[in-house]
Amino acid sequence: MNFDQLTDKDIDDLIKLPKRISNPSARWQEKPGHKQRNFNIVAENHSFTVYQRQNLFDDKDFSCGLKVIKPDGQPLTLLRYNGGGHIHGDIQFACHIHSATEKAILAGRKPESHAEATALYRTLEGALACLLEDARIRGLSNVKKDEPDLFESE
């Protein structure tokens, strides 16, 4: 697989590859303005990481993502689940999912620059639950999807 010229099919294959977290007890680390933890993942012939990042001052400012580690050791973000703590293009303060695309890679942009709004989660744990399911990742217990918001207008 040529990581400099990934096709949308290559990206989809990497995302759908069954994966398992090898360090489920990864600890949070405090950094300036946020806390973060990283999980290592093993899968067939590829290495991945999943990260969680939470702003310490704004509960809606969070991110979790899936990165594949390329043969040169550099990470490439395949998926990123963001909270609604910021504006992203036409997405106004709503949770959104970034996904890598062949088009972005060929244009020299961030691979995961494409984003779509979502109502699938509202919290970092809910985002992680969605990411684990979408990317076929096993090895973490007690991660729960967010309950539907009964007061959110359609």
Report pLDDT for 151: 64
What is the distance between the alpha carbons of residues 79 and 63, in angstroms, rounded to a whole number? 10
What is the distance between the alpha carbons of residues 149 and 48, in angstroms, rounded to a whole number? 32
Which residue type, as a one-letter code, is found at position 75?
A: P
Contact 66, 128 (CB under 8 A): no
What is the distance between the alpha carbons of residues 111 and 150, in angstroms, rounded to a whole number? 35
What is the distance between the alpha carbons of residues 26 and 5, in angstroms, rounded to a whole number? 32
- Grade residue 79 by pLDDT with cuts at 50, 70 and 90: very high
Mean pLDDT of the region 27-49: 94
What is the distance between the alpha carbons of residues 37 and 141, in angstroms, rounded to a whole number? 16
Burial category of 31 from C-beta neighbours within 10 Å (exposed 0-12, middle 13-18, buried 19 and up): exposed
Element (H, E) at 10: helix 8-16
Report pLDDT for 154: 46
Report pLDDT for 37: 97
How many of the other CB atoms lie within 10 Å of CB of 52? 21
What is the distance between the alpha carbons of residues 109 and 125, in angstroms, rounded to a whole number? 28
The residues that bridge with 39 in the sheet, in sequence order, are 50
Distance, first Cα to last Cα, the chain: 42
pLDDT tens profile 118-131: 999 999 999 999 99
